Amino acid sequence: MKRTLLTGNGAAAWGARLAGVEYLPAFPITPQTEIIETIARWIDFGEMDCRMVTLDSEHSMITAAGAAAVTGVRVFTATSSQGLLYGMEMLYTVAGWRAPFVLVNVSRGLASPITLEPDHNDILAARDSGFLQLHCATCQEVLDCILLAYRLAEDERVRLPVIVNLDGFYLSFTREPVEIPDAESVARFLPPFDPENLGFRAGAPLSEAVAVIGGTPYSYFRYQSHLAALNAVDVFAENAAAFAQAFGRTYQAVEAYHCDDAELVFVMMGSFATKAKEAVDRLREAGEAVGLLRPVLLRPFPAADFRRALSGKKGVIVVDQNLSMGKGGVLHTELASALYGYPGTTPVLVSFIGGLGGRDISAEEFYEMHAVTRQAVSEKRAPAPRLLYTEVELREMKKIQAIARVQGLKEQQT
């Protein structure tokens, strides 16, 4: 095992290399391109035994990944943002094939307007596709979660593709110390893919599905995929225990930070959760009983883990880096559905939307969210969801809008 500085993209490439990936269909898109460039260089130098094929789009790339996976090949690919949406049709298709492979998504905000900075609307658009989802907060987690994802995807109780998600730029191009395990240890933890009944031979053609079926068998097959996804909760826990024994790093479906004695709890995912940890530390120094929950496993949604962790808590501060138009934060909605109707899990849920398009969330804003939630608990009533924005930012936006209006009038006059 060696320790070195890696970007999140570099850690993703190392995860694929250590996993012994055999096939890489690829299409470049910012900010994930560094992943496939790194693997391509290793292949050219003979350091990685893998077949890489550049496709004409993300749609073709995901099609090729699924097709290869159902022949018994270990497959890896990566995309980001608009690319994930371009291949959205095939996300549903290959998940329906029960094709076990790993797709890394480097989150970036969606157009329009256009941004290169991250939020989670791209990855959450795929939450109902049948892909399982793991969300990373550090570069070390990126490498580790790829290894965990292959064990999860290839387990006979699951056999579903997995997305490993990391935040663009904040994580993809940030260098952090990462422990790279030796190949022998990884091979013991993650042996070669055993496809069992999967496989394809030209001399023995086999149909994996039929083109069109009626509602009754369709419902059956969809529900079977749903049950397989639910199995992944226990399978992930088993794999995480084996990973801890092999490499000494512990993972849980929901990471809990200072939650045992907390009265108020932040809930958020991704790299910005590390900012929340720092805020929790400072609030605790000030005498506040506060903690943090971070879902690592988002699909299947670990509802029971959240119910246990939030039992007896007074308030929950949900910070979403996404916005479901006309509703609000996706994580807030999912958490509310998991807690509703269960005794002992009725804290006041307060919803905040922040970090859209990579906008920073400052320490002061975490403190303010805590104060707002504490007030909501005392009033036993949650305020309406709110967007994180400062007065200075609002004033600047109004100036920009005023300038745009004046410019528009001038253009009309000319």
The reply to whether 118 and 193 lie within a common domain is yes
**pTM value?**
0.94
Bin 52: left if φ > 0, else alpha if -120 < ψ < 50, else beta. beta
Q: What is the pLDDT of residues 136-180, one digit of tens each?
A: 999 999 999 999 999 999 999 999 999 999 999 999 999 999 999
Mean pLDDT over 74-80 rounds to 98
Compute the chain's Rg from CA coordinates. 22
pLDDT digits (tens, 9 = 90+) for 324-350: 999 999 999 999 999 998 887 779 999
> Judging by DSSP bridges, how do beta strands 315-320 and 264-267 pair with one another?
parallel
Q: How far apart are CA 22 and CA 87, in angstroms?
A: 21
- Cβ contacts of 206 within 8 Å, gap of 6 or more: 199, 200
Residue 313, pLDDT score: 95
242 and 345 belong to one structural domain? no
- Is the bond leading into 113 cis (omega within 30 degrees of zero)? yes
Asked whether residue 413 is domain-assigned, the answer is: no
For residues 83 and 195, state if they share a domain. yes
Distance CA 369, CA 320 (A): 12
Same domain, 216 and 183: yes
**Over the range 45-54, which residues count as b (16 or more CB within 10 Å of their CB) and which as e?**
eeebebebee
Nearest CA among 151, 223, 216 for reference residue 187: 151
Closest by Cα among 378, 273, 254 to 311: 254
Q: Let me know the angle formed at the C-alpha of 158 by 156 and 160, rounded to the nearest 5 degrees.
A: 115
* 236 and 302 share one domain: no
Tell whether 211 and 288 lie within a shared domain.
no
Whether 182 and 123 have beta carbons less than 8 Å apart is answered as no
Look up residue 178 and give its two tokens: 């990462």
Q: How many domains does the chain have?
A: 2
Residue 408, domain member (yes or no): no
CATH at 105: 3.40.50.970
Q: Under a CB-based contact definition with an 8 Å cutoff, are residues 32 and 11 in contact?
A: no
Report the alpha-carbon distance of residue 23 to residue 37 in Å, rounded.
15
229: tokens are: 């996804």
Residue 297 shares a structural domain with residue 182 = no
Average pLDDT, the chain: 94
Burial of 11 (0-12, 13-18, 19+ CB in 10 A): buried
Whether 407 has a pLDDT exceeding 80, the answer reads no
Whether 91 and 118 share a structural domain: yes
Same structural domain, 286 and 364: yes
Tell whether 195 and 316 lie within a shared domain. no
Determine the average pLDDT of the residues in 21-25.
98
CB 146 within 8 A of CB 19: yes
Q: What is the pLDDT of residue 213?
A: 84
Last residue of a domain, one of 215, 247, 279: 247
pLDDT of residue 282: 98
Has residue 18 been placed in a domain?
A: yes
Residues 287, 223, single domain; the answer is no
Residue the block writes with tokens 């496989």: 199
If you average pLDDT over residues 373-390, what whole number do you get? 94
- Cα–Cα distance measured from residue 176 to residue 274, given in angstroms and rounded to the nearest whole number: 13
**Would you say residue 304 has pLDDT above 80?**
yes
Q: In this structure, what CATH number is given to the domain that contains residue 344? A: 3.40.50.920
State which residues form the domain around 71: 2-247
- Within a domain: 302: yes
